[in-house]
Structure 1
């Protein structure tokens, strides 16, 4: 593996260094592709997000000021392209179905097979359906924190909000995620839908997109003193983090080849 920094590799790749390009992609393509897949819900959209994010990153490297890790900056760029993609396709049918649709619940009720990969894919389908059912603003904070494992500070930088506001939005996203998983998995949800009444009241008093500092402070205080909520959040975070290890998140070989070819043609002066 190259010992050069991300910035050095980016500069070299932009100048036409094929080895540097491969090194950058090896380090970062999976996280960008996975983010696009979780946010947009289709491999085709994830491919576009990956390609456009890398184009933007290489061409606009001067915009990266080193105030955060390159990976955090790439999430910001990917997020922008996800939103552009959604806006461009506004009015088109959604690629996913509501939680009560047969196709969405099928994977949870199919007879389990002993094959671990098959089971992992089934779990991945359940998690993806639950994630896609979240409002976009809640979905992105859940993905950044619980799937990608960013710190609260890093995730807040990506989204462009205060850390306290991000935590409150994340609490709401996790509460909704528990409800969605309970719907998808039925009795197998093991009480995921049995939330804390006090937290539910707090969550109902503000919209995810519009939280004030008082709401944030109350939410943070509640999570620190309520063992029930803290344990539930920890358990849910461990469940959702499985998305990082479920088969199918690897960048498909044809996508990797197409992105490398496109970048190789576009980057050299």
Structure 2
């Protein structure tokens, strides 16, 4: 992977040092010695750590934005069995090298490399996106990641975070940081629905939900009782919460596990009153 000076402006330099990747031993060609697009390869052990952090498997489509010599998507296909890999790289020399590396690794039927500006790339099909860019570029890319990727997609960045978007997990690989974010479903808005029991009981509810990345909160009413839910945790399209509150004069605990699909909410709610547990089916719509 590489850091492109497309994002840093024009570099005035008297010499350029090209750092060699480890996939091939070929000497750099003149087309790689381009002061406008130098890159820094991610070490192989960090590549492995990033793919492990993303839990890449056989059903995954992996996009590497700023793919350099192609090592990450090649490794995803070769060693993790990824269904497909796409590398996005602005430097045509590196795209050529990536294609050669893919052929050598025997995965050219499952990976491809696109010469393109990553901000112009449609990566909405990706289930995993990997990055080794810069903090400023990560922040500029963040809205596109959140809007274009499906809930549950994973984003992994080598070395650099995403500002105030707290990672879901951070690991160290040979003293280098790798960060994981799981794209949350958008849940902000007003939800109305019912809690239904097996005995036929139906309890109406209304929730006004607010969201900051993978964290949400809500206020509303259940059967006419005002509630406040300050901590709702989102993991992809699913959210969970546990809440204690007095309901009709009785202390109760509520556990909710639900899934959000666009404007529909489905799941279960367990209500514990100290002596018994009652399970409700939860359904709702966003207005």
* TM-score interval, smaller chain: under 0.3
User: Could you state the TM-score of these two structures normalised by the residue count of structure 2?
Assistant: 0.25
Q: Would you tell me which structure has more strand in proportion to its own residues?
A: 2
Which structure is richer in relative contact order (CA contacts within 8 A, separation 6 or more)? 1
TM-score by length of 1: 0.26
Higher radius of gyration, 1 or 2 = 2
If each structure's helix is expressed as a fraction of its own residues, which one has the higher value? 1
